Amino acid sequence: MASKISKIIPRIFGGLGNQLFIYAAARRLALVNGAELALDDVSGFVRDHEYNRHYQLDHFNIPCRKATAAERLEPFARVRRYLKRKWNQRLPFEQRKYLVQESVDFDERLLTFKPRGTVYLEGYWQSEDYFKDIEPQIRADLRIHPPTDTVNQQMAERIRATNAVAVHVRFFDAPAQSALGVGGNNAPGDYYQRAIKVMQEQAPDAQYYIFSDQPQAARARIPLRDDHVTLVNHNQCDAVAYADLWLISQCQHFIIANSTFSWWGAWLGKTPESIVIAPGFEKREGAMFWGFRGLLPDRWVKL
């Protein structure tokens, strides 16, 4: 009798950048093991009262299906997930059927894990090393369905007509908290000055497009004349985050924030000629994690 096909059910949660990492790691785990992939697009968002985030992967070319209510462990899903986590923590990693990420650092064990039956996956899995060996497939899956409105289409035309640099500025804390250093969760106050200097040396004719959750505060971080800068501030809610990600990916070069959102904008848009500059500091506490092992590809410039 033929063996039963295994099934991978990743719990999708967090912002768009994190959702993409979770999908990519799960897709690779399913693909190399001949397993079915079913996305839990519900449980990670029903109690996200602080950020009110929602599932956003429908804006991509993802070929797999959504998990059923039973596959999401409903009813009493919260309790059932808790019990599964606790039980599986007692088992050797290779025998688990509920895999929870144990550290932000890249975990090589996921690459050799062999699923048996239904396996639940929970974690951010923030490294391209989890899916680098199937990069063409991930790029095909994560083709963004472009926004069709006139404003975004016209902005994309402007971007493609220039030697465009996407600059993403993410504020985890109030802008003033990082003006002088790494004190808070924002990128260091001088990071963008240093990044602009490096980019100008490599691409002196570039036009800079700024993306941020606080556009005016972000503009103050960028030491360039207004005629070299375009502030992209028309996609200002979570529901259209994919549109900004698409616009970032249309650029030629990238100065990213300490943010998985612009990490993916650079990764999806990068060409062999692209320059990608990223914050090189490490942070393991607070509102965000950054700079841990596996997060930033070796080929990116780290400042």
Out of 106, 141, 176, a domain closes at 141
Q: In the numeric block, which tokens belong to residue 207?
A: 């036009």
Residue 2 pLDDT grade (very low, low, confident, very high; cuts 50, 70, 90): very low
User: Does 162 lie in the same domain as 101?
Assistant: no
89 lies in the same domain as 177: no
Collect all residues with Cβ–Cβ distance below 8 Å to 198 and sequence separation of at least 6. 277, 301, 303
Q: At what angle do helices 16-32 and 241-249 cross, to 10 degrees?
A: 70
Q: Are residue 175 and residue 94 in the same domain, yes or no?
A: no
Q: Are residues 26 and 122 in the same domain?
A: yes
- Torsion of the alpha carbons at 267, 105, 175 and 159, rounded to the nearest 10: 0
Q: Let me know if residue 127 belongs to a domain.
A: yes
Among 113, 141, 169, the domain boundary falls at 141
**Number of domain units in the chain:** 2
DSSP label at residue 144 = B
Domain final residue, candidates 119, 141, 163:
141
| 50/67 same-domain check | yes
What tens digit of pLDDT does each residue of 162-220 get?
999 999 999 988 886 555 444 588 998 799 999 999 999 999 999 999 999 999 999 99
156 and 288 part of one domain: yes
At residue 255, the pLDDT reads 98
**Domain contains 226:** yes
Domain match, 184 and 296 both:
yes
Once rounded to an integer, what is the mean pLDDT over residues 86-107? Answer: 97
Domain-embedded: residue 84: yes
Q: Where residue 1 falls among pLDDT bands split at 50, 70, 90?
A: very low
Tell me, yes or no, whether 1 lies in a domain: no
| CATH number where 246 lies | 3.40.50
Mean pLDDT over 125-130 rounds to 98
Quick one: which of 272, 227, 232 has its CA closest to 252? 272
Do residues 137 and 155 share a domain?
no
- The C-alpha atoms of residue 211 and residue 230 are separated, in whole angstroms, by 9
Cα(54)–Cα(39) distance, integer angstroms: 14
Over the chain, what is the mean pLDDT? 94
Cα 108 to Cα 179: distance, rounded to the nearest angstrom: 37
Task: Please check whether residues 122 and 155 belong to one and the same domain.
Answer: no
Query: Residue 175 is part of which domain span?
Result: 150-302
Query: Is 196 found in the same domain as 130?
Result: no
Confidence (pLDDT) at 174 = 83
- How far is the C-alpha of 298 from the C-alpha of 300, rounded, in Å? 6
- pLDDT digits 0-9 by tens, 110-120: 999 999 999 99
Instruction: Assess whether 155 and 132 both reside in one domain.
Output: no
Residues 157 and 127 in one domain: no
Residue 124 lies in a domain: yes
Three-class DSSP category at 28: helix
DSSP structure class, residue 33: T
The mean pLDDT value for 10-17 works out to 97
Residue 2, domain member (yes or no): no
The larger pLDDT score, comparing residue 151 to residue 285, is at 151
